[in-house]
A and B are shown apart, each in its own frame.
Chain A
Amino acid sequence: MAIRQLSVFVENKQGSLHNITDAIANAGINLRSMCVADTSNYGIVRIIADDPEGAKELLDKDGQAANVRLVNAFAVPDKPGGLASVLRLLEGNGVNIEYMYALITSESGKAYSVMRTGDTEETDRILVANGIELLDESKLH
């Protein structure tokens, strides 16, 4: 079960991030997690929010480059080696991870991660088949 992620292509300059988060907040959309990838010229802001499509529509109207796609989100035991075991599993199955970031929840004892791989569906299948706990969007909000 993959979850939806909003990503926005922004300028690498002061205020870019604030503008995005402001716009989303003004629409009453709640952010759950966020990660910024930056290069010297631009950044990509990746956001898990409770209404990614609504947020994209808002940004589209403003002429911004926004995209909603599915990413894998899963839980691992909050202990040393918890994440490594999942990554080892994926690597063993030839899954290429493009990026990954942590998702913070109030639930203790577990750590949540979001990742984009070369093949989201296949990754989902592998995680399910190996009993890794997945996050669905209903659990997030």
Chain B
Amino acid sequence: MEKRKYYQEAIETMPVEEIKKMQSEKLVRQVAHVYKNVPYYRDLMDKKGVKPEDIKGIEDLYKLPFIEKSDLRETYPYGMLAVPLADCVRIQSTSGTTGKRVIAYYTQHDIDLWEECCARAIVAVGADREDVVQVSYGYGLFTGGPGLNGGSHKVGALTLPMSSGNTERQLQFMLDMKATVLCCTPSYAAYLGESLKEQGYTPDQIPLKAGIFGAEPWTQEMRHNIEETLGIKAYDIYGLTEISGPGVSFECSAQGGMHINEDHFLAEIINPETGEPLPEGTKGELVFTCLDKEAFPLLRYRTRDICVLTREPCPCGRTHIRMAKPMGRSDDMMIIRGVNVFPSQIEAVLLAEGFSENYLIKLGRANNSDTFDVYVELRPEQFDDSVKNITAMEKSLANAMRNMIGIGPSVHLVPPKTIARSEGKAKRVIDERNLHD
């Protein structure tokens, strides 16, 4: 039997004009829903002098106010909720601190559309109900595990809900259950590949044929390495909790960018400085508008990812617009081992613990994982002649940071005045990972 090419062929290959028409209809309804049920956004629209009836289709999108991460913080926890809490069946949350944490709500309808997006991504890598999908993204508040798990169920594949970690067990189940599709972060895929190689497995002895890797930036070089050690094709997937989770866009067999699920998510590129929409093919900040979500329907949400969109026809037959792999950020957010980290979070810990705000974050790569080092200047009065106390301070700072951001850096205290001060804006981050090609 020939493999299915699409999960929802009619939608995924819909002519562009029809997609746009559908988007326009959905947008009008979505805006009306949000205006009626989210007072915070209603105020934003009122302040801008925009009424729901001004939005007649996607050509009016630019009239709507943006939503930024700061709006989500301000409205925490319920302020962006557009349905009664009783109608929700799930929350998911972004990694990161209490201060920056975002809680996204889902009705069953929202879960279904999200899982459908993930199902499209799984079918796009050549999988169907005969396949065994190993989901090694974290399960829990993080969207990675639940999203791909749900997508795999929708496809009807046998799903291995492994979650992340416990490498021995991962490999045992992969080999014994003959997993054919692996879903995890690219770093973890590389790590699993290296572990198999060390144990003497050659690619032809590994049952996998494809991988769906996302939640952190990765390079073509990493893709080649993963493909070689595991003997698979490695596909990219993109998403964010604020919009739904993984599967907002996904790579197809043509691997020329990720198709955005345009029946649910309307994408635009803006100038991050001015907010002006930019023409297709121009590099700028990616902005998403949900089109048919119930519980957490963000409109014009600024992702801060710098990206390019293209509507060039794709050999895979899908008509949905494609986005390039993000090329960077328009803010200072770092993605470290799949966790979103802002320098301001590091700063907040230093301040709370009574340390100097002269610090430097160094990111690198070792053993297929990110290294995360924070250098902090010791204040003269904190020095008491003892190595023991310095080590204790380093440990307690690292713990405080782990509590704040979810992953622990190596903290290094250094003498005063040894971290370079630059004119004006201080250089706080040295990223030597070269994650963007």
A-B complex is real: yes
Chain A contacts to B: CB under 8 angstroms: 5, 7, 9-11, 37, 39, 41-42, 44, 46, 60, 63-67, 69, 98-99, 116
Within 8 A of A (CB), among B369-427: 378-380, 382-388, 390, 412-418
Nearest residue, chain A, Cβ from B413: A42
Q: Assess whether A65 is in contact with B387, with CB atoms less than 8 Å apart.
A: no
Bitwise, B296-309 to A at CB < 8 A (1) or not (0) is 00000000000000
CB contacts (< 8 Å) of B378 on chain A: these are: 9, 65
CB contacts (< 8 Å) of A9 on chain B: these are: 378, 383, 390, 415-416
Q: Assess whether B384 is in contact with A41, with CB atoms less than 8 Å apart.
A: no
Q: Assess whether A69 is in contact with B384, with CB atoms less than 8 Å apart.
A: yes
CB contacts (< 8 Å) of B412 on chain A: these are: 41-42
Main secondary structure of the interface of B (DSSP, over half): loop
Chain B contacts to A: CB under 8 angstroms: 378-380, 382-388, 390, 412-418
Q: Assess whether B385 is in contact with A116, with CB atoms less than 8 Å apart.
A: yes
Q: Assess whether A98 is in contact with B388, with CB atoms less than 8 Å apart.
A: yes
Instruction: Kindly provide the distance from the CB of B143 to the nearest chain A CB, expressed in whole angstroms.
Output: 37
Q: What 10 A-B pairs come out closest when comparing CB atoms? A: A65-B383, A7-B385, A65-B380, A9-B383, A41-B412, A67-B385, A9-B415, A11-B418, A63-B417, A67-B383
Q: How many angstroms between the C-alpha atoms of A37 and B390 in the bound complex?
A: 13
Q: How many angstroms between the C-alpha atoms of A116 and B389 in the bound complex?
A: 14
| Sampled A-B contacts (25; CB under 8 Å) | A7-B383, A9-B383, A11-B414, A11-B418, A37-B387, A42-B390, A42-B412, A44-B385, A44-B387, A60-B380, A63-B380, A63-B416, A63-B417, A64-B416, A65-B379, A65-B380, A65-B383, A65-B415, A65-B416, A66-B380, A67-B383, A67-B384, A69-B385, A99-B387, A116-B385
Instruction: Kindly provide the distance from the CB of B226 to the nearest chain A CB, expressed in whole angstroms.
Output: 32
Instruction: Kindly provide the distance from the CB of A80 to the nearest chain B CB, expressed in whole angstroms.
Output: 30
Q: Assess whether A42 is in contact with B380, with CB atoms less than 8 Å apart.
A: no
Taking a contact as CB atoms closer than 8 A, the residue among A7, A42, A60 that contacts B414 in the complex is A42
18 additional A-B residue pairs with CB within 8 Å, beyond A46-B385, A65-B378 = A7-B383, A7-B385, A9-B383, A9-B416, A10-B415, A11-B415, A37-B387, A44-B387, A60-B380, A63-B417, A65-B379, A65-B415, A66-B383, A67-B384, A67-B385, A69-B384, A69-B385, A99-B387
